[in-house]
Amino acid sequence: MIAILKFAHIAAIAIWTAGLISLPSLYVQRASVTSDESLYRMQRMVRFSYVAIISPAAFVAVSSGIALSFLREVFAPWFSWKLGFVALLAMFHVFSGLVIIRLFREGEMYPTWRFVLATASCCAIVLIILALVLAKEAPDVSLPHVMGEPGGLKRLLDPINPWATP
């Protein structure tokens, strides 16, 4: 059972991350599309990729990961770090969906610098997750002591908070 779940998890992660890494390269091609028919075909291809392939893979990856965490009882510091970076990957997924909605409006473009930044940051997140999983060690970074105390975050942010709380 666990082997099948691990296989589904790894396969879904591979599809999800490959899709997220490749989407910005499709976005940047928007600038070279001139005819309405080509634009419509590109829009259908990008939306199909996101809705029918990448999003279901993300769902399977996350749900199988949750199931595996309960079956394997993985409660270690490295796993918390991994979940934090998976949350970043999920945010990247949501932002990609928002780009797809906006990108195919009249006159919209996706700049090359954004393509490079999006691809590099997504690759970095994926590589960090992979390194954490393979090493099974948490980075030796600790939060300030005040973060572990009740009300510590409020005390830490009070000097820079522009809105006074009563």
DSSP 150-165: TTHHHHHHGGG-SS--
Contact 90, 43 (CB under 8 A): no
Res. 106 pLDDT band, cuts 50 70 90? confident
Q: What is the pLDDT of residues 140-166, one digit of tens each?
A: 777 777 777 888 878 888 888 777 666
pLDDT value of residue 36: 85
Question: What is this structure's pTM?
Answer: 0.81
- Please count the helices (runs of H) and the strands (runs of E) in the chain: 6, 0
What distance in Å separates the CA atoms of residue 43 and residue 49, rounded to the nearest whole number? 10
Sorted by sequence, the CB contacts under 8 Å of residue 92 that are 6+ apart come out as: 20, 118, 121, 122, 125
Distance of CA 160 to the CA centre of its chain: 29
Residue 61, both tokens: 């990856």
Contact 146, 156 (CB under 8 A): yes
Q: What is the pLDDT of residues 92-105, one digit of tens each?
A: 999 999 999 998 88
Q: What is the pLDDT of residues 42-91, one digit of tens each?
A: 999 999 999 999 999 999 999 999 999 888 877 788 888 899 999 999 99
Length of the chain: 166
What distance in Å separates the CA atoms of residue 152 and residue 130, rounded to the nearest whole number? 32
